[in-house]
A and B are shown apart, each in its own frame.
Chain A
Amino acid sequence: MFSRTALVRGAQLATRRQASCKLAQRRGYAAAASSAPATFNYETSDVAGVKIASRDSHGPTTKLAIVAKAGTRYEPAPGLTVGLEEFAYKNTTRRSALRIVRESELLGGRLNAYHTREALVLEASFFREDLPYFTELLAEVISQTKYTTYEYHEEVERVMHVKQPKHDNDPSVLALDAAHAVAFHTGLGAPSYPTATTVLKGYTDENSIAAYAESVYAKSNIALVADGASSATLSKWTEQFFKSVPASSAGSLSLNAKSSNYYGGEQRLAHTAGNSLVIAFPGSSFGTFKPEVTVLAALLGGQSNVKWSPGFTLLAKAAASSPGATASATNLAYSDAGLLTIQVSGGATAVRGAAQEAVKALKSIAEGSVSKEDLTKAIAKAKFDALSSSESGVSTILSAGSGLVHTGKPFQIAETTKSLDGVTAEKLKTAAKSLLDGKASVAAVGDLFALPYAEELGLKV
């Protein structure tokens, strides 16, 4: 039999656990979902001319990134952004590329460089205590890289040639690029990665990349963002190591800083690898946040949040009627323009059917046939997406950094979610109507015999 003390102890433990459980739960609910806790927001400051933002969740690891205003929309000639991205962590005047890699491997760090249409990001993830080393490394990379001819020919060019087919054989990427091209022409319309047929000769070589780097990597053009470091330590090390970075752009190649203009139109490309159709409208941007467009994107949705069910979103229902097609809607926000895209991929006839259904769904929203319940679901989904993406890290470093370089303050997710509550059925209706009345941007890639023209879908281009 059990001894009496053992039983008593077990009961005590059980009650204590329950109580603590309740306490934790209560605390969890007490923080309202929409008002974010303080650790969520970035603290910003200006250290010796460098805009820095940091957020400390007191975890064991840190992510430090330089976000530069040097995405494909700013490149003055094709291929420069990609070239600069590939030249990250190559030989500097102080150490070789191999040494940089081996040293960060020894510290358990990870180095990464990527670009979007607006930003070029050099990112390092590492243990919290290695912050000084990686701050120094990033400063060195942006100010002391050598941009040698042989590295360009032996490494950068080769990597670019290897990466190109990955984009060239993906119809959905090509369709999205084509939609951007007809929507914005230059700037944001530049392809996110040069294709195999893009002319780079005469535009991109080690000298032009070095000149571009000089104008990109200036204190006025970059932001240093840290996730998992306190503001005080970050500014201390930034002050020490970022002295060698020039204060303003000095390169002979200036950035293409033209503001975006929406044009609209249609583009069709034959491709054998698959089918993709993108229908795009002017959307919500970082500069002018339009909550109704964000909710509209959530309402159109497409990706199911529940297993084994298409979900409530209108595009999921549209895609369900033509098997083999997937449809999704996203609002791609940039600093001064946005693009609300509906992307349909799959078999050619299925894409045709789903695209027609998708446009019908958009028209039904414009007629005001959205149920109140669906609207509530869409607002909740839009809010959840915004907040959960800000927790996972990647998009926040990017959005905080690009907010900082473009507007001087990070794009705080928590603030925008509040305005989503104000979206009514009436606002949604007028937003959808104005989109349909305006010019759309339609890009079709794949089997052009089956893919519909914009005019067939009932869109103006």
Chain B
Amino acid sequence: MSVYPSLAPFILKRPWLTKMFKPLATWYTSAAGYRQLGLRADDLIVEENEDVLKALKRLPPQMAYDRVYRLRRAQQCSLMQKLLPKDQWTKPEEDTPYLEPLIAQIKAEAKEKAALDALTIVKNH
């Protein structure tokens, strides 16, 4: 379950489509510019959301610390209107989802809770 609606699962299932879209995706992520600020894709997930807040609390301490460090560094860059030196850019292999699995887990829990707890009263009139 993805955090945002996405076509990616559909495309990834089809190798020929993946092959077609790969250059476009690479171009897009680098054009998005977050890697030049040392961020990871999961750092961009909007925090103002109960599920995401809960997921952030479940992060292991080291990961939570690193996340705050990346955010502050990016903020500083943004303030100074500069990019990081090229050796500090996020490398594509470092840009792994670390928060999304937790959010997916929390959403699955909520979904299960709704399925097991939902005794909805449907009015006939």
Indicate if the CB atoms of B60 and A102 lie closer than 8 Å.
Answer: no
| A98 CA to B109 CA, complexed, in Å | 9
Say yes or no for A364: interface residue by CB 8 A criterion. no
Q: What residues of chain A lie closer than 8 Å to B109, measured between beta carbons?
A: 96, 98
Indicate if the CB atoms of B58 and A98 lie closer than 8 Å.
Answer: no
B58 partner, pick from A96, A102, A150, beta carbons under 8 A: A150
Q: Nearest chain B CB to A109's CB is how many angstroms away?
A: 16
Considering only CB atoms, which chain B residue lies closest to A96 in the complex?
Answer: B112
- Residues of chain A in range 88-105 having any CB-CB distance to chain B below 8 Å: 96, 98-99, 102
Q: What residues of chain B lie closer than 8 Å to A102, measured between beta carbons?
A: 116-117
Considering only CB atoms, which chain B residue lies closest to A150 in the complex?
Answer: B58
B116 partner, pick from A99, A149, A150, beta carbons under 8 A: A99
Say yes or no for B113: interface residue by CB 8 A criterion. yes
Place the interface of chain A in its size category.
Answer: under 10
Q: Nearest chain B CB to A147's CB is how many angstroms away?
A: 14
| A96 CA to B109 CA, complexed, in Å | 8
Indicate if the CB atoms of B60 and A99 lie closer than 8 Å.
Answer: no
Indicate if the CB atoms of B58 and A99 lie closer than 8 Å.
Answer: no
B112 partner, pick from A98, A149, A150, beta carbons under 8 A: A98
Considering only CB atoms, which chain B residue lies closest to A103 in the complex?
Answer: B116
Q: What residues of chain B lie closer than 8 Å to A96, measured between beta carbons?
A: 109, 112
Q: Nearest chain B CB to A93's CB is how many angstroms away?
A: 14
Q: Nearest chain B CB to A151's CB is how many angstroms away?
A: 10
Q: What residues of chain B lie closer than 8 Å to A153, measured between beta carbons?
A: 57
Place the interface of chain B in its size category.
Answer: under 10
Q: Nearest chain B CB to A448's CB is how many angstroms away?
A: 43
Indicate if the CB atoms of A149 and B58 lie closer than 8 Å.
Answer: yes
| A445 CA to B57 CA, complexed, in Å | 41
Q: What residues of chain A lie closer than 8 Å to B113, measured between beta carbons?
A: 98
Q: What residues of chain A lie closer than 8 Å to B117, measured between beta carbons?
A: 102
Number of A-B contacts (CB under 8 A): 15
- Residues of chain A in range 433-451 having any CB-CB distance to chain B below 8 Å: none
| A99 CA to B116 CA, complexed, in Å | 8
Q: What residues of chain B lie closer than 8 Å to A149, measured between beta carbons?
A: 58, 60
- Residues of chain B in range 20-50 having any CB-CB distance to chain A below 8 Å: none
| A102 CA to B114 CA, complexed, in Å | 12
Q: Nearest chain A CB to B64's CB is how many angstroms away?
A: 12
- Residues of chain A in range 147-194 having any CB-CB distance to chain B below 8 Å: 149-150, 153
Q: Nearest chain A CB to B111's CB is how many angstroms away?
A: 11
| A96 CA to B111 CA, complexed, in Å | 12
Considering only CB atoms, which chain A residue lies closest to B105 in the complex?
Answer: A150
- Residues of chain A in range 75-129 having any CB-CB distance to chain B below 8 Å: 96, 98-99, 102
| A430 CA to B64 CA, complexed, in Å | 67
Q: What residues of chain A lie closer than 8 Å to B57, measured between beta carbons?
A: 150, 153
| A99 CA to B113 CA, complexed, in Å | 8
Considering only CB atoms, which chain A residue lies closest to B58 in the complex?
Answer: A150
| A99 CA to B109 CA, complexed, in Å | 10
Q: Nearest chain A CB to B16's CB is how many angstroms away?
A: 36
Interface centre among A99, A149, A150 (most CB of B within 10 A): A150
Indicate if the CB atoms of A98 and B60 lie closer than 8 Å.
Answer: no
Q: What residues of chain A lie closer than 8 Å to B58, measured between beta carbons?
A: 149-150
Considering only CB atoms, which chain B residue lies closest to A91 in the complex?
Answer: B109
Q: Nearest chain B CB to A96's CB is how many angstroms away?
A: 6
| A438 CA to B109 CA, complexed, in Å | 59
- Residues of chain B in range 96-125 having any CB-CB distance to chain A below 8 Å: 109, 112-113, 116-117
Q: Nearest chain A CB to B100's CB is how many angstroms away?
A: 16
- Residues of chain B in range 62-96 having any CB-CB distance to chain A below 8 Å: none
Q: Nearest chain A CB to B109's CB is how many angstroms away?
A: 7
| A150 CA to B101 CA, complexed, in Å | 14
| A452 CA to B117 CA, complexed, in Å | 56
Q: Nearest chain A CB to B92's CB is how many angstroms away?
A: 29
Considering only CB atoms, which chain A residue lies closest to B55 in the complex?
Answer: A150
Considering only CB atoms, which chain A residue lies closest to B60 in the complex?
Answer: A149
| A150 CA to B106 CA, complexed, in Å | 11
| A102 CA to B115 CA, complexed, in Å | 11
Q: Nearest chain B CB to A375's CB is how many angstroms away?
A: 60
Q: What residues of chain A lie closer than 8 Å to B112, measured between beta carbons?
A: 96, 98-99
| A149 CA to B109 CA, complexed, in Å | 16
| A185 CA to B34 CA, complexed, in Å | 60
Q: What residues of chain B lie closer than 8 Å to A150, measured between beta carbons?
A: 57-58
Chain A window 420-440, contacts with chain B (Cβ cutoff 8 Å), 1 for yes, 0 for no? 000000000000000000000
Q: Nearest chain B CB to A129's CB is how many angstroms away?
A: 23
Considering only CB atoms, which chain A residue lies closest to B109 in the complex?
Answer: A96
User: Other than the known A102-B116, A102-B117, A149-B58, what 6 A-B pairs have Cβ atoms closer than 8 Å?
Assistant: A96-B112, A98-B109, A99-B112, A99-B116, A150-B57, A150-B58
Subset of 15 A-B contacts with CB under 8 Å: A96-B109, A96-B112, A98-B109, A98-B112, A98-B113, A98-B116, A99-B112, A99-B116, A102-B116, A102-B117, A149-B58, A149-B60, A150-B57, A150-B58, A153-B57
Q: Which B residues have a C-beta under 8 Å from some C-beta of A?
A: 57-58, 60, 109, 112-113, 116-117
Please provide the 10 A-B residue pairs with the shortest distance between their CB atoms, ordered closest to farther.
A150-B58, A102-B116, A98-B113, A96-B112, A98-B116, A98-B112, A99-B116, A99-B112, A96-B109, A149-B58
